[in-house]
Each structure stands twice: as structure tokens, then as C-alpha cells.
Amino acid sequence: NAGVTQTPKFRVLKTGQSMTLLCAQDMNHEYMYWYRQDPGMGLRLIHYSVGEGTTAKGEVPDGYNVSRLKKQNFLLGLESAAPSQTSVYFCASSTAGGLHFGNGTRLTVT
């Protein structure tokens, strides 16, 4: 009963490096989301997708790109990491009844 799986769990990057975070869900949900969590700020929406092949910007999209080539996967990319992107990243998938979250990726950019 995997639900939403995020890889990797931890990552340390140097400023300017790139990386991709992978999210996979096995619930056949149409909707998927990437949030970042920072202390005292709750969760803020980065990008989301309402179906395979579609993506849209959320509240804080700058510096990130996403792709949804397969229904079950939603990738978040950082092309040139900055210290301000140090955060915990959560992926979620959804039906009308609410979001199902992965366990997060803790990213540190030095």
C-alpha cells in the first residue's frame, strides 16, 4: 500500500547545481501537486497538474520546472539551485476528498 512515494528522501546541493525530485503515486489520481514547507509559512504550492501532459503554476513557481509525462509520475526540477530553495518538498495526489502526501524530500542548498 505505497500511496505517494518521493525520492530521494534527503539531498544536499551546491549553489548552481541541478536536480530532479521524483514523485510516484499508485492510486490512479488525476491531480498531483508539489509543495514546499518552510518554518512558520505552512505549505506553499509550487506547481500542480490536473492530468497527464498538463502542468500549471502555483503560488511560488520561480526557479522550478515540472513534467507529467505519465499519469503516475510528477517530476520537480531545479535547474540552478539557490540557497533560498533549501526546504522540505512534499508531493501530493488528490481526488475531491483531499490530498494524499508523500513523506517529503529534505533539500539543503549550500
Partner 1 sequence: AQSVTQLDSQVPVFEEAPVELRCNYSSSVSVYLFWYVQYPNQGLQLLLKYLSGSTLVKGINGFEAEFNKSQTSFHLRKPSVHISDTAEYFCAVSDGSNDYKLSFGAGTTVTVRA
- DSSP symbols for 37-68: EETTTEEEEEEEEEETTEEEE-SS-TT-EEE-
Binding segment for partner 1 (CB under 8 A), chosen from 18-26, 67-75, 78-86, 98-106, is 98-106
Among 1, 14, 62, 96, contact with partner 1 (rule: CB under 8 A): 96
Integer Cα distance of 5 and 10 in angstroms: 13
Yes or no: say if 77 and 67 are a contact pair by the CB < 8 Å rule.
yes
Enter the C-alpha cell of residue 72: 503516475
Yes or no: say if 10 and 104 are a contact pair by the CB < 8 Å rule.
no
Size of the site for partner 1 (CB under 8 A): 28
Among 8, 16, 27, 59, contact with partner 1 (rule: CB under 8 A): 59
Contact flags string 4-43 toward partner 1, x per CB under 8 A: x--------------------------x-x-x----xxxx
Q: Which residues are at the interface with partner 1 (CB under 8 A)?
A: 4, 31, 33, 35, 40-45, 48, 50, 56, 58-59, 90, 92, 94-104
